[in-house]
Structure 1
Amino acid sequence: MSLKKFSQEDYDNWRMWREDRDPEAGNRIVSKYLPLVEYVVHRLAISLPHSVHRDDLMSFGFNGLLDAIKKFDLDRGLQFETYASWRIRGAVIDGLRQSDWLPRSVRERARKIEEAYAILEQEKMRSVSDKEVAQFLDMTEEEVNQTIVETSLSTLGSIDEPIYDEENHQTERVNMILNERAELPEAHIHKQFIKDTLAQVINRLPEKEKIVISLFYFEELNLTEIADVLGLSTSRISQLHSKAMLRLKASMTRYEEMIRTI
């Protein structure tokens, strides 16, 4: 976070918290960023079953905010809102996973559907239909769609979820957030290639899925607002979002595998 964007009061609070762990300064920082928890939870909650209680999500998210405040390094040059959003989001996802809200059998079906998207779209070089995926897996279209609805959370990632670099060294997603003011040329090229790859994949999405991705991630509408725009139910929008994310994830997995072979 650039210090130039701090008010004097904000700067004093962060300084007192970082240097002395002053509890009052910490409380003021928490109060300032508490609406960020509500924002992140609201965006996640719409995609989840009604059986998941909002109070639980807020509790997970609040813990994520506290963790972000505790670990945030002013000297890395990151926006605190960006860093905290990742931590809050990751804490909610981790909390839900630990509560084991999704049966193992459903997770296994979701993994098979994701693999089917990767195989079929690589083979056909286009987006595949629900019918094609169902036939490939010897499932009905209803079973495929119901699994996607039930596993909407699996299309999200946690910031603490381990990932591996080209030398198979384990790291965390948070460590992949770069200081853009000190970006190396090769990192810029790599990031631009990822953006180009994603743009190509998004462009191949079925029209409704493409619109949902655009409105959700670029216009920052929530799923209810997107449902109003498209005249569809929120559950249908959630399903379209999950399908699109499975396709994107499958395509980026192929990209990562290709990079490792270079």
Structure 2
Amino acid sequence: MYTSQGKINRNTIVEQYYPMVRRQALALQVRLPAGVDTDDLIQAGLEGLLNCVDRFDPEAGVAFSTFAHQRVRGAMIDELRSRDWIPRSVRRSGRELEQAMRRLEQRLGRSPEEREIAAELEMSIEDYHQLLQDTNSGLVLSYDEVVLEAPGGETTTEEGVDTPAEQVTEAQLKQLLINAIETLPEREQLVITLYYQEELNLKEIGAVLDVTESRVSQLHSQAIKRIQSRVRNL
């Protein structure tokens, strides 16, 4: 991994970590519209990886693999954000959906059911399901934005070391997310766990739940909107 001069060998790093970059690109791609090219995500990830080589400090006490994993994913997310491919109308609909959920939770003292959310939005359950489908394409970014753009969410310094204050903020943010996920209905909790922790795709989750891929997409979208409405309201 290092040259005879004690520097990180960039070619060796690319060869060693390319499979990791490709895995992350594929994991993101299956959650995005068909127009997003996996090769573009891989290229962004490789650029993030090489940026790690320039910024990594072996004396900082952070493993290069950990540092690289975070930077590669961040580079891919930045690439997607730079395209701004989520229509404004979809963003607006997503915000309105979050607000409706928040109002209902405050009024009912619990997570609202689908029919209650649809009624709050003054639409049929069919139109509500279509709204979930329409907003789902941007949710991989929205989920990451909860972590990456919330106050204190960006915790890595230029040297790759978290300050004590930043570490506390990150821990608090993670706890907020955990608490929000724990309030989800059981089936939506399972979807989030299988999707983000077990890294199953929608089709695989559908097989586990014995529902269609489209239904999993709706449940995923609804779960993320519930999480956002809670975390962003704290």
Q: Same fold (TM over 0.5)?
A: yes
Aligned with 2:11 (options 21, 24, 27): 27
Shift of 1:209: 1.0
Distance in 2 of aligned mates of 1:228 and 1:14? 53
Q: How high is the sequence identity, in percent, across the aligned residues?
A: 36
SS in 2 for 1:164: coil
Shift of 1:235: 4.1
Shift of 1:106: 1.3
Shift of 1:35: 1.1
Structure 1 residues 95 and 160: CA distance shift in structure 2, 3 A: farther
Structure 1 residues 26 and 222: CA distance shift in structure 2, 3 A: same
CA contact (8 A) 1:90 1:160 kept: no
CA contact (8 A) 1:209 1:240 kept: yes
CA contact (8 A) 1:117 1:133 kept: yes
Of residues 120-129 and 104-113 in structure 1, the stretch that sits farther from structure 2 once superposed is 120-129
| 1:245 maps to 2:224 | yes
| 1:147 maps to 2:129 | no
CA contact (8 A) 2:91 2:135 kept: no
Shift of 1:194: 5.1
Unaligned runs of 5+ in 2: none
Residue matched to 1:101: 85
Distance in 2 of aligned mates of 1:159 and 1:145? 18
Distance in 1 of aligned mates of 2:148 and 2:89? 21
Shift of 1:212: 1.4
| 1:16 maps to 2:27 | no
| 1:113 maps to 2:97 | yes
**TM-score between both structures, scaled by the size of structure 2:** 0.78
Residue matched to 1:174: 156
Unaligned runs of 5+ in 1: 1-9, 18-24, 166-170, 256-262
Instruction: Give aligned pairs, total.
Output: 231
Residue matched to 2:194: 215
Supply the AA of the counterpart residue of 1:94. Answer: D
Of residues 108-117 and 26-35 in structure 1, the stretch that sits farther from structure 2 once superposed is 108-117
**TM-score between both structures, scaled by the size of structure 1:** 0.71
Aligned with 1:91 (options 62, 70, 75): 75
Residue matched to 1:206: 185
SS in 2 for 1:146: helix
Structure 1 residues 225 and 174: CA distance shift in structure 2, 3 A: farther
Shift of 1:37: 0.9
RMSD: 3.5
Shift of 1:12: 5.6
CA contact (8 A) 2:10 2:50 kept: no
Of residues 204-213 and 134-143 in structure 1, the stretch that sits farther from structure 2 once superposed is 134-143
CA contact (8 A) 1:227 1:234 kept: yes
Distance in 1 of aligned mates of 2:161 and 2:2? 20
Supply the AA of the counterpart residue of 1:150. Answer: S
Distance in 1 of aligned mates of 2:192 and 2:104? 21
Supply the AA of the counterpart residue of 1:164. Answer: P
